[in-house]
Chain A
């Protein structure tokens, strides 16, 4: 219709011919184009992140509305991470929870006692808690119900599953990280010990060294006083009633050469002629940094109550994985 400025259908300007417009487009300078060209190969991180953020929930975690299932059946399945999700018809979601949990748990067990191992074990527990909370938060809608249910479930998980499991496991298997290097054992090594293990000849044990003192040199300036106490690691060489003779670095038990050797070489100047009393074990403190000065036999006869744990094996580092070995005696 005459007089109209724009098309009623498409909105096009009907007076464009009469408008004063610059019809020459803006142009990019040569240097701009030169800069832009290599920049094209740089990925658009913002766009990539946006796409990732949009795609991830829709592909891996589709809209989560739980079917009406018996509560107790879902509740029971929370004991295994991801099982409840699987039961509710979300196998991918459940698989992700279970996969993450197993990964953290298995790698954490292999690195038990190290900082990373502890972190991974914590993450495994967190994965389990998340999988339980995931179910609860999608079922309960009120804030109070959510908080209350979450607290109950988390308390049940921790007090009903993990703390008993940890308590039971650490009765028989306990990681022990070595803080100070000793002969044959380095700082950072992780020993798996059994606190309930029974002492026997040939076993490597963690024990409290019998307290002893040695004073070196004359009184006055330059006098050094050594005090032995605290935990040590070494092998039990003889049991109650056995007669031990140590001379020139050779150890004889009941007149025969000993089958077992301590964890570090025996000092050649050590001499010993002693019968191990009842309730005592003979352990030479060869791994002690000042072993050359230990007063024998005061520190080598260890009462049974002072043996705190039996060493099962060294779990870390993997290059020294296995039972603690004794040095091969020189011929």
Chain B
């Protein structure tokens, strides 16, 4: 392997200390970003937002973090702030498709579908393809009650075979009071990775919205089997236990 003999690791750091420092900073930023992703995948959006900010403190060129911040603000239901932040990020990276899509989502949730539509169209015209762009497009169509939203979400699922896009699609459907559609995507998320507690939690939320109490309990128990200290799942279980069916309430009255 003569061609690898001339690779310089130690020597490169010694000869170019500034470049090595930049390399370490990038590594740290990647770590923060990974942590942010972990938080996001566990449904802890507040923590994910903080991690994205830390990553950006290390490296301001991480566009994924800027977009992630906007997405987390949207998930935390801070839509005007998300829109403002996306504008700031777009000042730095004006033609970035992910940032444009994030802005479109913020605008859509802020009930500005016209601007959102224009922004997401602009986003899709940019180079590359991502599931998030298609999801945002689907969300805007869903908000406008157009029947083609399903195609966009399906396209998003084709772009990325991870479990996160279907889970986030389910959350979008839940936001627009369509838990039945959301449930199909949440189930897809669990099919793609059955070991993720957050995906089971999303399934349980959708089932609860649909009044499927027993299936929701089963999904929650799976979720808690995978992660017993999942606080949101525990809270949901308590809430489910407090929801006594009508016939049982009547029986209770009778038994008194």
Contacts and interface: CB of A to CB of B under 8 A. Distances in A.
Interface of A: 9-13, 16-17, 19, 21, 23-28, 33, 36-37, 40, 44, 47, 50
A25 B69 contact: yes
Contacts of B159: none
Interface of B: 49, 53, 56-57, 59-61, 69-70, 73, 77-82, 84-85, 92-96, 111-114
Interface residues of A, dominant DSSP: loop
B53 A28 contact: no
Contacts of B79: 36
Tell which of A19, A28, A36 has the most Cβ of chain B within 10 Å: A28
Contacts of A47: 111-114
B49 A25 contact: yes
Given A10-B94, A16-B93, A26-B84, 16 more contacts: A9-B95, A10-B96, A11-B93, A12-B93, A12-B95, A17-B59, A17-B60, A17-B61, A21-B92, A25-B70, A27-B81, A28-B80, A33-B77, A33-B78, A37-B77, A47-B114
Contacts of B61: 16-17
Contact of A16 (B60, B112, B113): B60
Contacts of B112: 47
Contacts of A16: 60-61, 92-93
24 contacts: A10-B94, A10-B95, A10-B96, A11-B93, A12-B94, A12-B95, A12-B96, A13-B92, A16-B93, A17-B59, A23-B57, A23-B60, A25-B49, A25-B73, A25-B82, A26-B81, A27-B78, A27-B81, A28-B81, A33-B77, A36-B77, A40-B111, A47-B111, A47-B112
A50 B144 CA distance: 13
A23 B56 contact: yes
Contacts of B60: 16-17, 19, 21, 23
A17 B26 CA distance: 11
A33 B73 CA distance: 12
B25 to A, nearest CB: 9
Contacts of A28: 78, 80-81
Contacts of B53: 23-25
Contact of A25 (B57, B59, B81, B94): B81
B85 A26 contact: yes
B93 A10 contact: yes
B118 to A, nearest CB: 14
Q: Which of B69, B77, B85, B92 has the most CB of A within 10 A?
A: B92
A9 B126 CA distance: 11
A24 B51 CA distance: 10
Contacts of A13: 92-93
A21 B93 CA distance: 14
Contacts of A10: 93-96
